[in-house]
Amino acid sequence: MFGKIFSVKTDIVYRREESLNLFDGKKKLDKVVSGRVFKEQIKFFGFTIRTKFFYQICCPQVNMNDTHEACTLNRVEDLVRTECYNKVVEYSNRKHHA
């Protein structure tokens, strides 16, 4: 299988309609990303969900230089290609857009 597995702790923000049903939102994750939620905690301020995901990036056709650093609770050196990631979820901390 193509791709590399990343273990990422991060605060992610679901869109409002996806926040109403967490399981519905997880089904909408891009199919090139396989994720499994270990811990879910809804913060009603901004619909933030604190989770731990395992991401498997399976799109070798994407340019490896098109990367953004995962905004994590702990310092993580790994990069996650957002083209495979940000269709459903958004980072709560967007330092790369500052």
State the Cα–Cα distance between residues 8 and 63, nearest whole angstrom. Answer: 21
User: For the segment 11-68, what is each residue's pLDDT rounded down to a tens digit?
Assistant: 444 444 444 444 444 444 433 333 333 333 333 333 344 444 444 444 334 333 443 3
With beta carbons less than 8 A apart as the criterion, state whether 60 and 49 touch: no
pLDDT for res 67: 39
Contacts of 25 by beta carbon, 8 Å cutoff, 6+ apart: 14, 15, 18, 19, 88
Task: Note the pLDDT of residue 23.
Answer: 42
Dist. CA 59–CA 83, nearest whole Å: 9
Domain limits, the chain: 5-97
Q: What is the spatial distance between Cα 28 and Cα 19, in angstroms, rounded to a whole number?
A: 12
Q: Using 50, 70 and 90 to split pLDDT, how confident is the model at 94? A: very low
Q: Which pLDDT score, from 0 to 100, does residue 84 have?
A: 37
